[in-house]
Structure 1
Amino acid sequence: MIKALHGASTFHSNVLSDVEIAHQTGYQGIEFFIDKLVRYLENGGNATSLKQRLDAHQLQTTCINALMGIDRHSAQDRDALITQARRITEVANQLECPTVQLNPGHYADHLSHAQRLDIITENIGEIAQFGEKYGIRYQIEFIASSEFNTLPMALEVIDRLATTNVGLVMDFWHLYARGVSTPQDVANLDPALIYGVHFCDGRKPQAGEAWDETVLRAYMPGEGEIDIQAFVAAVKSTGYDGAWSPELISPRHWEYEHSAIATACLHNMSQFID
């Protein structure tokens, strides 16, 4: 088991600060938030020096989170997606990071279910093929606010792909929020398909309420509606032994001192998973 600092939990920090925070607060790895990582690379940083900093602190990069908009389908949007995917895959390779996360946007929400899955399958298939030469794998995160929003949908895409480097991240909130998947559904998964876990809490929107994650997920685990212990037990029952990352999407907590919130997230997660 690797406990990895999630870059979204320290939202207003930067990449190098996250490395120091993870080291000082007792994590073994980092799940880099892609916006921070791209900003670092576009402003004088490079993957080689970042890897040296990680190595100096004996930290692993567990995931780059996340390549957004895997449902892009216009020629221009899709070209931008593939270009970004290739760049991030190369950076992952330089960081010896095994996994890149793939998230849908709202590009195909207006299309039929069949069309949407065709687009997502084709896009992920091309990205995964490129990643094979680097040994990079890709974890799908279905998003509750989008129309690609359930575990069965993600599994259908994986079933369509003739590849072994595409799997899933178990994000407790996204699993819970649509009311489709249960801890038992997670327990029934092949552990080889679970590439990461996002340890988090939250609630479903009330009638007429927007799907705003900064509101619906602004809870420390144990404070929201999710049966955290049941999902933890389900993941463990599969035999999964990879990275666990506490993801806190909370503007209130983002205003805490970064090390304090990182420590709180680690302590909270450890109480449930150790």
Structure 2
Amino acid sequence: MIKEPLLHAANWTHAGDIRPDFADLASRVDIRERIDACSKAGFRGMGFVFVDIENALAKYAASDLNAMFADGGIEYLELEALMGWSAGDDKVVDDALRLAETIGAHQIKAVGEGDVEAPAEPMAPAFGRVCDRFADLGAKVVIELMQISNLDTLAKGRTVVEGAGRANGGLLFDSWHVTRCGIDVDEIAALPEGVFRATELCGVPREMVVPDRFDEMVDHRMQPDTGDFDNAAFVRGARSAGFDGPWGIEIVAAAHRALPVHEAVQRSADAMRAVLASSEAD
């Protein structure tokens, strides 16, 4: 029997009608509905921003929340996005660790600095310390390469991750950022095993849809079986680098947010399966 790939729905895929805004990231959709939508679509992994777990724990006991995950067949949990870690902000790491322990998180998504000119080399020791904090939980810490951060190239990301040298640390590759950062899939395929640790697929148009890169990033992504970026080739490159899931999807788009949550999540699951099937057939 062929094993069903573990599909992972990153936070914005199921957060409902909330546009990412650093001033207010909280979903307006009850976490129970989000879990139900992902469970029915066949997702076994879910990601959440930290505030959504804080809000859920204000409404539900931790034991009840964890029972919801278990009852929904959610086996893999991610928290995002860890910021300030490279400057030695112990509080943000402490808060993230507390939430990760509470829900048994498997993965913490970290991002680089907003100052795009900040050098990567000094971040490696700090990343190593962060990885060590989560190692006892058996949790990975993954850095998402992003066009809007100082870690916007594969070389910079490798500098931090390989400089830290931690077994539970690695890079997260997002289709949109891979495209907009100009990262070649062949470069990804040639990575040493253990560097590629997480993925978020989406559909990406070849040319920018709007001139503002933040607006494009949060309003104009598509399902991964559409767009100009070859997600099937991306999946094959990931496998060549030693990665084989969980296969994450992140749809951050105005059109996606406008749909009912169950419909939006089901569309994403169907698109992910189509891409994975295509990656095997090509």
TM-score range, shorter chain: 0.7 to 0.9
Deviation, structure 1 residue 139: 0.6
Alignment of 1:109-148 (within 5 A): 109-111=116-118, 113=119, 116-118=120-122, 120-148=123-151
Work out whether 1:4 is the aligned partner of 2:8.
yes
Partner of 1:102: 110
Give the 3 Å change call, closer, same or farther, for CA 45–117 of structure 1 in structure 2: farther
2:50 to 34, 41, 44: 34
Which TM-score applies when normalising by structure 1?
0.84
Give the 3 Å change call, closer, same or farther, for CA 15–117 of structure 1 in structure 2: farther
Q: Retained in 2: the 8 A contact 1:32–1:65?
A: yes
Q: Retained in 1: the 8 A contact 2:201–2:250?
A: yes
2:101 to 75, 93, 98: 93
Corresponding letter in the other structure for 1:166: G
1:44-99 Cα shifts (integer Å, max 9, x gaps): 3343321111112222133212223444x3xxxx43xx212222223223323221
Q: Retained in 1: the 8 A contact 2:46–2:74?
A: yes
Counterpart CA distance in 2 for 1:205 and 1:211 is 11
Partner of 1:272: 275
1:79-129 Cα shifts (integer Å, max 9, x gaps): 3xx2122222232233232211101241x3344x3xx531x3243222222
1:247 to 246, 250, 265: 250
Counterpart CA distance in 2 for 1:109 and 1:204 is 23
How many residues get paired? Answer: 259
Counterpart CA distance in 2 for 1:188 and 1:14 is 41
Partner of 1:198: 200
Give the 3 Å change call, closer, same or farther, for CA 198–157 of structure 1 in structure 2: same
Q: Retained in 1: the 8 A contact 2:83–2:92?
A: no
1:163-205 Cα shifts (integer Å, max 9, x gaps): 22211112121111121x2111111123423322101122466
Give the 3 Å change call, closer, same or farther, for CA 15–123 of structure 1 in structure 2: farther
Give the 3 Å change call, closer, same or farther, for CA 207–7 of structure 1 in structure 2: closer
Corresponding letter in the other structure for 2:47: E
Counterpart CA distance in 2 for 1:247 and 1:102 is 15
Counterpart CA distance in 2 for 1:96 and 1:44 is 18
Q: Retained in 2: the 8 A contact 1:183–1:234?
A: yes
Which TM-score applies when normalising by structure 2?
0.82
Q: Please, which runs of 5 or more residues in structure 1 have no aligned partner?
A: none
2:75 to 57, 60, 63: 60
1:209 to 200, 208, 211: 211
Counterpart CA distance in 1 for 2:6 and 2:210 is 39
Deviation, structure 1 residue 206: 4.7
Q: Alignment identity in percent?
A: 17
Give the 3 Å change call, closer, same or farther, for CA 262–207 of structure 1 in structure 2: closer
Q: Please, which runs of 5 or more residues in structure 2 have no aligned partner?
A: 17-28, 278-282
Q: Retained in 2: the 8 A contact 1:70–1:105?
A: no
Counterpart CA distance in 2 for 1:204 and 1:11 is 26
Deviation, structure 1 residue 250: 0.3
Corresponding letter in the other structure for 2:93: A
Corresponding letter in the other structure for 2:80: N
Structure 1 moving runs of 4+ over 4 Å:
204-208
